[in-house]
Amino acid sequence: MTRILVADDSETILLLLRTRLEMEGYDVTTAVDGEEAMQKLGGEPGSEPDVILLDAMMPRKSGLDVLRELRAGGSRTPILIVSAHQEQEAIGDVSGHGADGYIRKPIDFDELLGHIRQLAPD
């Protein structure tokens, strides 16, 4: 089963994403900030997610920081950045930092699911 790690500082958004993605048949893990996401990623081997969804802005550690750290550590796991910001320039060129996609809030689930299917084919 495709595993997805979702990090967002909003409990509601996390609930929405978990519910919707589980409905689509994905195995969903959640984190409320970047720190927690890093902890979840550092778990027992073999449980690494197939796709990571990171909210760009989070307290403690932002999604962009996580992205940079992971790519610096050599991880190739597909990462999608979710942001309330429409402006590319506000969060920098995400693909330049190694992200595989950029999703705007409010989330268009057709677009999101399309991205996930493309990044983690069954």
Size of the residue set binding other proteins (CB under 8 A): 17
Question: CA 22, CA 24: separation in Å to the nearest integer?
Answer: 5
Give 17 or 70: the residue with its C-beta nearer to other proteins. Answer: 17
CA 69 distance to own-chain centroid: 14
Q: Which stretch binds other proteins (CB under 8 A): 9-17, 28-36, 44-52, 72-80?
A: 9-17
Taking CB under 8 A as the criterion, the residue among 32, 38, 107, 113 binding other proteins is: 107
Question: CA 71, CA 65: separation in Å to the nearest integer?
Answer: 10
**Measured CA distances, 84 to 8, 55, 87, 88, 105 (Å):** 11, 9, 9, 11, 5
Q: Which stretch binds other proteins (CB under 8 A): 28-36, 42-50, 59-67, 100-108?
A: 100-108
Residues 24-83 binding other proteins (CB under 8 A) are: none
Is residue 16 close enough to count as binding other proteins by CB under 8 A?
yes
Give 113 or 120: the residue with its C-beta nearer to other proteins. Answer: 113
Give 55 or 100: the residue with its C-beta nearer to other proteins. Answer: 55
Cross-strand bridge partners of residue 25: none
Question: CA 116, CA 121: separation in Å to the nearest integer?
Answer: 8
Question: CA 63, CA 80: separation in Å to the nearest integer?
Answer: 10
Taking CB under 8 A as the criterion, the residue among 89, 96, 121, 122 binding other proteins is: 89
